[in-house]
Structure 1
Amino acid sequence: MLLYKFLSRVFLFVVPFYSVESVFKHEVKPDCAASEKECSFDFHVNYITSMVSYNLSTGEGYPVFIRNGTFFKKCSSDVVSIARPFAEIPLTYEEMEDVVTADGNYKFMYSINKQFPAPTIVVDENQKVKVRIHNDLVNEAVTFHWHGMFQKETPWMDGVSMLTQCPILPGQTFTYEFIASPRGTHWYHSHHGAMRTSGLAGALIVLPRQKTERYDIPKVANDVVLMVQEWNSKMSDAQLVNIQKWYMLSFSQNLDTDNCVTTKRNYDGTISTLAEPYNNALVNGKTRYFSEQYSERQRLLPLEVFNISSNTYNRFRLINSGMTGSFRISIDSHKLLLIASDGVDLVPVEIDFLIINPGETYDVILYANSIAGNYWIRVETTVVMDVHFNPIQQNVSFAQLHYKEADDELPKSEERKCSVIEPCVMANCQWSPDSMARIEPSVKCLSIADLKASSISRMLNPVSIPDSPDDFQEIFLNFHFTGNGVKRARPAVNAIHYKSPPTPLLISPDIVKDKSIVCNNEHMENCGEYCQCTHVVKLETKKTTQLVLIAENGLQTGTSHPVHLHGNRFQVLKIGHAVLNKTTGFVQDANQDIQFSQNFSKAKWRDSTWRNGNVPDLKIENPPLKDTVVVPNRGYVVVRLQTDNPGFWLLHCHLETHMNIGMAVVLQVGELYEMPELPSHFPKCSNFHLDSVSLPLSNSIKPDGTL
């Protein structure tokens, strides 16, 4: 079977700005010298089509296909004939390297500098980063969120459309400038509409300054990015969001069909969030099919290959840039040393499997101590049952780990076999241990709350303990589906469906006083039974802030939600799971620690002695720091943070199909006067209504058309 091995090219972006067209690189190498105060990038947002070879010099594109194991491009023929209107020319190695193959289908999509995934940014901690965005699209506006960056003193660079800035319209240029902090594995993606899994997402790596590197982990020979996402070649992200919004998911495979798509279930019987129909995951934009039911083209696609040498340590920076899917990642015949999550160092722990959800990042180290050869990197879905609770086979996608000492060939390795004598360890389990034990009895499950912050992280970020009740604020936020007697339930927070304001709050902050636009669960009088507004919750600065994140619909079925916070991160102090059926181990009822109002818009601790931060079993000593955490269905997560970054910061479900329909809330941190002053000449936008009185009268227009 044909196997393509691709070498990544390295391009440096330096001041002045310039544009580079190149293939995606998974190696982590600095784009600028550590001595440079500023690192600049020039990004052109444009359209591409997968499985097309582009000649940037001539401005031509050539569809790519496979015949008898060889990749060809279709080119316009100089001699046009009915029998052969185009020429078929084999692709060179260099041309094939530039083709975005994805799943082998032709899909109209987005890109940055013709790359997919988008270019990797690698800078040093506290460097100033400048990214000039050229919107070369015809129809779509864009913005970019720098996921994991605090944006202290620069909240207008957070990149949330109609919250922190106006959209960048077609033909416009906008320059993002911010300080690269904190360090670690982060990423960036579009934050206007639904576009990120169709091409607008890339890695953002912030390296530690010299002499501040970790001393408790091995020095690595290779440092690489592994981005994973689901892929739908038939529909765009916006189409999938619209299909969910109008409750047409059953027909998402084809609207003109009698074959309906059914949902599937996770380990605890809850509904999977993975959008159906699902075929394969992409690893750094690549995948391959092995079943004979797929075309030759799809069965000969290039895999993403990671080259390593024997007896070396290798760091993998894992990023789930997907729209809806959680994945279980493992590498055959190799243990993984888990060392960080969301850019924050953890006490190292050896694992076999890792669950990664949309929005999350994890860092692992692999020691190349197996027999030199080729090994599968497995990306499995977390769905294990059909809608009727019958066991099903998990879908597996692949990348390849290749030892340089071995021949180039497809792996023949097998997945790790877990047993009671030699149990496997799975990190970041979001399901109850009791549910997991019934499906995977030989797997030890570690939730994110079981992981520990490293000693340095703990020293730099101690858990805030309030001196008095006046120094403490606690907010309950329910990420759930809700509707009314007429409209079916849709994504919301505290029964409010988020709607963007007519002008960005950061640009026109006084709009928060307008109750016809902004509301929260204390002020819903103008919102109606099906409440849709710009949902804003106000927090005081410099206080110990405890957020209780919940996922409760009052229904037997439901999903978990990966919740992401902009402008800060939080310590995960406790996870409370749902009540399980004692016979099946499936979710049966809501966790009883929390009491809800009738429409689930408000919540409080059922036991009043738990208030003011007195919740039992909080992990105060060394909890992990995160900016994205999964809230289990019918359960809750207690997180704590310091509100020391004034601004308007979005808190939302990182499933695009949920966020874009309303599962988001704005945290207003501080008073308006505490927020940094907006730069002069910052772009503004708002509604416009022309006063009819000011229109010129028709009889005042002269015959030559002048007034």
Structure 2
Amino acid sequence: MTIIGTDAQTSQPTKVNALIMSPGERYTVVVNANRNIGSYWIHVRALGLCTHTAARQVAVLHYAGASNQPVSAIPRFNSSANPNTKTFAVSPVNSRCNSSNTNGICVSRLRSVNRAPLNVLRPVPDVQIIWGFGFHFYPNNELYNNDNYHLFLQSPGPVVGSTINGIINNLPPSPLLTQYADIPAGTICDPELQPISQWSNHRECAHVIKLPVNSVVEILIVDTATYDPNGISHAIHLHGYDYYIIEQGVFPDGLQFNQSVQWLKNKLSTRQFGDIPQFPVRKDTLALTSGGYTVVRIYTDNPGFWFFHCHFAYHLDSGMGGVLQVGELSDMIQPPSGFPKCGDFLPSVNLN
């Protein structure tokens, strides 16, 4: 089949025989019906942390005039729909995205049919920010025997909160766009407390990153874990924009996380990855390699409050999200008169 688009954006035709998709991703493909007339299996199966479930589904691609009997036996969970053909997929799970990757291509190697705007292609962006995806594992003494109530996921195994830049996102009781003035003081994270050195001291607050309007913003999307071919590959989704995907890969072995980030920044600033691609593919959802990085750019021409998050529901629910505030409130559309309001509507309580 031939990929001609992803996440509602067109791309230059790329031939593969398998798609690997994370939650939220979409692909537009053209099936090349160039085989002998017959009925052929279509096979879909779970990967990654869902492999143990052996979840799968099959269908039949039936050529006109063919027998209803498929030309091969029904594929098993671990087999290919076409066992005589080597799998070549887009976005192999936890690929290093280098020459060692012989079973497919990373999405950073796809190309758009349209050249990116010249301002997006400039060597140095106006702003560079980082999203570092990780977890906070709660010790019992942090959860119990005190008056604090934390946001976390109770699942088999350790009690965990999901973080970006060491922050467990705890959304405010009222919408940022329509009721900013109603949000209690102290609800939104203090942006001055977010350097990498602070991430291990996790915080729980509304994670808002403020960006200027009409600016080129480069985002370093990184996994704080070490590389693991069988590790979690987060599905990173952004509302309000499409990413221009510039570069993907994994960090060198043996580096501390802060050293890995500095290594990536140095590679970008000295253009050791080469020139920025002129036709970078655009997507709104991407798979982040375990222990790896993806470099993207956006142009902030859409003022507002835009949510970004991991598309795994239990990661999102336990704090792996945040908001890009693009522009000032005066740059945004104001709510109409009488627009309904949301909030906790808590009664006043006298604790004396």
TM-score (norm 1): 0.41
Match of 1:668 among 325, 329, 349: 325
Query: Of residues 13, 20, 23 in structure 2, which corresponds to 1:348?
Result: 13
**Residues 616 and 515 of structure 1: CA distance in aligned 2, closer, same or farther (over 3 Å):** farther
Q: Which one-letter code corresponds to 1:348 in the other structure?
A: P
Does structure 2 conserve the Cα–Cα contact (< 8 Å) formed by 1:418 and 1:424?
A: no
Q: Indicate the SS of the match to 2:132.
A: strand
Pairing 1:568–2:235 present: no
C-alpha deviations, 1:421-456, integer Å up to 9, x for none? xx542112242358996xxx9x532000111111xx
How far the C-alpha of 1:370 sits from its partner, in A, is 2.5
CA distance in 1, matches of 2:90, 2:36: 26
Aligned CA distance change for structure 1 residues 493 and 528 (closer, same or farther; 3 Å): closer
Deviation digits for residues 105-148 of structure 1, max 9, x if unmatched?
xxxxxxxxxxxxxxxxxxxxxxxxxxxxxxxxxxxxxxxxxxxx
Residue 185 (structure 2) pairs with residue 522 (structure 1): no
Distance 1:569 1:677, change over 3 A: same
Matched letter for residue 427 of structure 1: V
The answer to whether the Cα contact below 8 Å between 1:574 and 1:618 also exists between their aligned partners in 2 is no
Structure 1 CA distance for aligned equivalents of residues 265 and 16 of structure 2:
39
| 2:36 counterpart SS class | coil
1:549 maps to: 221
Q: Structure 1: which 5+ runs fail to align?
A: 1-335, 387-391, 580-588, 597-602, 694-707
Alignment of 1:380-529 (within 5 A): 380-383=45-48, 396-407=56-67, 409-413=68-72, 415-417=81-83, 423-433=86-96, 444-454=103-113, 457-458=114-115, 461-462=117-118, 464-466=120-122, 472-486=126-140, 488-510=159-181, 514-523=184-193, 529=201
Which residue type is aligned with residue 505 of structure 1?
L
Aligned partners of 1:634, 1:551: CA distance in 2, in Å?
A: 5
Q: Give the direction of change, closer, same or farther, for the CA distance of 1:350–1:394 in structure 2 (3 Å limit).
A: farther
Determine if contact 2:3/2:13 at 8 Å carries over to the other structure: yes
Corresponding residue for residue 204 of structure 2: 532
Instruction: Look at both structures and tell me which one has the larger radius of gyration over its CA atoms.
Output: 1
Give the 3-state SS of the residue equivalent to 1:659 in structure 2: helix
- Per the TM alignment, residue 533 of structure 1 is displaced from its structure 2 partner at its CA by 1.3
How many residue pairs match? The answer is 321
1:541 deviates by: 0.9
Indicate the structure whose relative CO is greater, using CA pairs within 8 Å and at least 6 residues apart.
2
The answer as to whether partners of 2:2 and 2:14 remain within 8 angstroms in 1 is: yes
Query: What's 1:53 paired with?
Result: none
The structure-2 alpha-carbon separation of the partners of 1:618 and 1:662, relative to structure 1 and needing over 3 Å to count, comes to farther
Q: Is the 8 A contact 2:136 2:163 kept in 1?
A: yes
Whether the 8 Å contact between 1:472 and 1:612 is mirrored in structure 2 is no
User: 3-state DSSP class of the match of 2:206?
Assistant: strand
Structure 2 gap ranges (5+): 74-80, 143-158
Root mean square deviation, CA, Å: 3.5
How far apart are the structure 1 equivalents of 2:96 and 2:225? Answer: 22
**CA shift digits 1:497-554 (9 cap, x unpaired):** 1112111111112357x55211055247xx9955211111111111110000011136
Q: Which amino acid aligns with 1:563?
A: I
8 Å contact from structure 1 (residues 484, 530) kept in 2: no
Structure 2: how far apart are the matches of 1:412 and 1:350?
A: 23
Aligned-partner SS, 1:474:
strand
* Mapped partners of 2:222, 2:13: distance in 1: 29
- How far apart, in 2, do the equivalents of 1:570 and 1:687 lie? 34
Bigger shift: 396-405 or 490-499?
Answer: 396-405
Residue in 2 aligned with 1:377? Answer: 42
Q: Distance in 2 between matches of 1:406 and 1:482?
A: 56
User: Do the aligned partners of 2:121 and 2:278 also contact (CA within 8 Å) in 1?
Assistant: no
- Tell me the distance in 2 between the aligned counterparts of 1:376 and 1:643: 44
Deviations, residues 236-293 of structure 1 (Å, cap 9, x unaligned): xxxxxxxxxxxxxxxxxxxxxxxxxxxxxxxxxxxxxxxxxxxxxxxxxxxxxxxxxx
- Structure 2 SS opposite 1:657: helix
- Pairwise CA distance, 1:395: 5.2
1:631-678 Cα offsets, whole Å, 9 max, x none, are 111111000010111100001001111111110011101111111122
- Please state how far the C-alpha of 1:686 moved relative to its aligned partner: 1.2
Change beyond 3 A, Cα 1:669–1:448: same
Residue 389 of structure 1 corresponds to none
Runs of 4+ in 1 over 3 A off after TM superposition: 383-386, 392-396, 433-437, 483-489, 527-530, 553-558, 606-619, 689-693
* TM-score normalised by length of structure 2: 0.79
Matched position secondary structure for 2:232: coil
State the match for 1:9 in structure 2: none
* Residue pair 1:574, 1:617 contacting (<8 A) in 2 also: no
Percentage identity across aligned positions? 28
- What SS class does the counterpart of residue 595 from structure 1 fall into? helix
Residue type matched to 1:662 in 2?
G
Structure 2 matches for 1:173-212, cutoff 5 A?
none
